[in-house]
Amino acid sequence: MQLPWPPETLREWMQAEARHDSGVYAKRDLMLVRGQGTRVWDAQGREYLDCVGGHGVAVVGHSHPAVVAALEAQARRLMICPGSFYNDTRARLLQRLGTLVPGLERVFLANSGTEAVEAALKFARYSTGRPKIVAAKRGFHGRTLGALSATWKRAYRQPFEPLVPEFEHATFNKLDAWEQAVDDRTAALLVEVVQGEGGVHPASAEFLTGLQRLARERGALLIVDEIQTGMGRTGKMFAFQHYGLEPDLVTLAKGLGGGVPIGAVLIGPRVRALKPGLHGSTFGGNPLAAAAALAVLDILEREDLPARAAEVGAYLRQGLARVSGPVVRAVRGLGLMIGVEVRQKAAPYLRALAERGILALPAGMNVVRFLPPLTLTRAEADRILEAWAEVSQAPPAAPSETG
Ligand SMILES: *Cc1c(COP(=O)(O)O)cnc(C)c1O
């Protein structure tokens, strides 16, 4: 089929993308072309309240002016500087990240979530001299082979086997299972504080403190994956801070760069000192991403966004539980990371919300997930509640076939 170039209709634009795309993404029937704060616009100029936020990336909102300004200034000055040279902007970011949590003073910078997880896994094996990693059933840690080995979902794993050996999965929120799985060959326990992809399941305090105790007792490290829960999303800068945990390694990405790709690992004192050449990344710690992340950290602090996520998040979560109709099985979450489990597939509910100007994303087959910017106002939360009250009364009708 010959496509006209440049494409004229919206349908032709979508076909143009689909035609040369690898094909690994299930596409939604929307073309987004602009974002500002909590809003995004599609190619036809329709406005949406964005609770997808690039899968939870837009913690400070889309195209925050301070992030844009930081990027512009840094782009004019220096965009790339290898880790083998010092750089002033990177120095400032390392100083900020390395003083966020007492004890987690060292930082490795990468470019994505999965890379942060890979680095944490390597550091844990190196540090302990042990091979085994115990991760959670229903957990999600990324798509590269190491992170994928820690990820639970069979459909993501099975086509790529054999994966990295010595990964085991134990039931989330069941300490007994971890008591069984963790032994003197275990390098690390890896866990999300609130499982994101797996359906928005918060961990219990006893489970998390139990994992930490178990790790200490058996000489293993505790890795907390804060890629989705971090940067204020759950009401504190990091979700583990709700429980007074002292993890040995913390992975970050998503919200850290304000929309610019970045990943990071915070490294604690129980991790053995790392040596030159042990790990690395061409783009990791590049000044452009560092400048964006510095701007994000400023905004989070200046606008007190973690506190706001706690407040508006509780309001939205309680509201969703209150207005939910009979199709809803459960409302779960922490701060502005909220999942609503429905009795059927989530996709028709996502379409029905989009028709009402609200974008949300799925978490597994039957959870509707809301990951809005932390700048969300109560009035905006009310708009979500209004739409959800309508949508959740009965399973939505099948979409009408549009051209
Ligand atoms: C998104 C996510 C990842 C993977 O991040 P990518 O940047 O997509 O590689 C890993 N862990 C958690 C908890 C995530 O939510």
Walk along the chain (403 residues) and give the pLDDT tens digit of each residue.
577 888 999 999 999 999 999 999 999 999 999 999 999 999 999 999 999 999 999 999 999 999 999 999 999 999 999 999 999 999 999 999 999 999 999 999 999 999 999 999 999 999 999 999 999 999 999 999 999 999 999 999 999 999 999 999 999 999 999 999 999 999 999 999 999 999 999 999 999 999 999 999 999 999 999 999 999 999 999 999 999 999 999 999 999 999 999 999 999 999 999 999 999 999 999 999 999 999 999 999 999 999 999 999 999 999 999 999 999 999 999 999 999 999 999 999 999 999 999 999 999 999 999 999 999 999 999 999 999 999 999 988 876 544 3
Do residues 346 and 362 lie in contact, with contact meaning Cβ atoms separated by under 8 Å? yes
Cα gap 171→184, rounded to integer Å: 19
254 is an active site residue:
yes
Cα gap 41→44, rounded to integer Å: 8
Q: What is the pTM of this model?
A: 0.97
For residue 67, list its beta bridge partners.
Answer: none
Retrieve residue 100's tokens.
Answer: 């966020």
Retrieve residue 109's tokens.
Answer: 């910078």
Domains of the chain: 7-60+304-391 (3.90.1150.10), 65-302 (3.40.640.10)
Do residues 361 and 52 lie in contact, with contact meaning Cβ atoms separated by under 8 Å? yes
Do residues 64 and 258 lie in contact, with contact meaning Cβ atoms separated by under 8 Å? yes
Would you say the CB of residue 225 lies under 6 angstroms from ligand 1? yes
The confidence score (pLDDT) of residue 201 equals 98
The confidence score (pLDDT) of residue 403 equals 36
225 is an active site residue:
yes
Give Cα 151 to chain centroid, integer Å. Answer: 14
Task: Compute and round to an integer the Cα radius of gyration of the chain.
Answer: 21
What stretches of 263-362 show up as alpha helix (H) in DSSP? 287-302, 305-323, 347-355
Q: How far is CA 357 from CA 47, 220, 245, in A?
A: 7, 47, 39
Do residues 200 and 363 lie in contact, with contact meaning Cβ atoms separated by under 8 Å? yes
Return the closest-CA partner of residue 47 out of 347, 310, 383: 383
Atom from ligand 1 closest to the CA of residue 225 = 13
160 is an active site residue:
no
Please tell me the total number of residues recorded for the chain in this structure.
Answer: 403
Residue of 50, 248, 254, 370 marked catalytic: 254
Output the CA torsion 87→89→95→96 (10° steps): -160
DSSP structural state of residue 380: H
Residue of 225, 240, 248, 370 marked catalytic: 225
Would you say the CB of residue 229 lies under 6 angstroms from ligand 1? no
Q: Write the residue with the smallest CA distance to atom 11 of ligand 1.
A: 141
